[in-house]
Each structure stands twice: as C-alpha cells, then as structure tokens.
Homo-oligomer: A and B are copies of this chain.
Amino acid sequence: MSADRKPMIAVVGAGKCSKKLREMAAVVGKYIAEHGGVLVCGGLGGIMEGAARGAKEAGGVTIGILPSLYKEDANDYIDFPIPTGFGEARNVLVVRAADVVIAFPGKYGTLSEMAFALQAKKPVISISAWRLSEEIKQAESPEQAAELAMKYAEEILGVDKR
C-alpha cells in the first residue's frame, strides 16, 4: 500500500432522503475531502450522492461501490465506480473498503452496513442512525461526525504505518 495512502471514510445511509439530510451528508463529504480523506460510498442517490457531491465540491476523491454491474448507475459525483453485480451484498464491500464508517439514517441496507462494521471492529459514527450499541459513537452534527471519523482513521493509519 502506498506509504501516504489516504484515510478512506465510508458514508452510508438511505438512497432516498430529505434535502436537509442530503445537505448534512454534503457537509461530511466536504470535510473529509478538505482534510485529505477519500470518500467511499455505495455510489447511488440520497445520502451517498450528498456525501459524494460535498467531497467533489471540495476537490476530493470519491469511490462508489455499486450493487449493479453498470458504472452508469453511479451518481454524478463518483470518480471511481466499482460495479459489483452483487446487489445489496455489496454493502459488505463498502464496509471492507472503509477505515471508518459514518452512518446516516437509512433502512435495512444501512443497518447491514453498521452491523458489518461493528462486527469487523471498525469505528462507526452515527448521525441519528440506528441505535444498536454503545460501541457506536454518536455525533451531534455532520462536522463533528466527520472530524471524529478523520481522527479515528488517522489513528488507524498511524498503526498501519509502523
């Protein structure tokens, strides 16, 4: 792995959501990009699109791990679409690609991503997402969520760099 590889932060949440939530996701994406992180997501709409847009507006890099076989299914803000053809099973790949996961409200797909992240002992930061466990870090705002995520990721990268 490149000695200066960047933190990879997954943002997960509903594929359809309110404008307000999408803007909150954009704030997260922007923060990640401004602080040298890479945005990973499921590549589709809603939270995923908001986060990717925020990252791109700040000049960042975005990776979208898609359920379908078709790169065209990625939202307009995905630099590197990774089509899997696995349907919702691609959720586990989103988590495996991430150093840290930020969860927004979502349904069972989001829940599966949080479950896999917790199972893999990756840090999970929630903005009003499923309340499952004390192990999930609750954030009060998108800025706080993004800041926490970058902090955890940098700790992990520090360990990796031994």
Contacts and interface: CB of A to CB of B under 8 A. Distances in A.
Interface in A42-70: 56, 61, 63-65, 69
A74 B38 CA distance: 17
Interface residues of A, number: 49
Contacts of A69: 87, 96, 120
Copies in the complex: 4
Interface of A: 1-3, 5-6, 8, 38, 56, 61, 63-65, 69, 71-89, 92-93, 96-97, 107-109, 111-112, 115-116, 118-120, 130, 132, 160
6 contacts: A1-B73, A1-B75, A8-B80, A89-B89, A108-B115, A112-B119
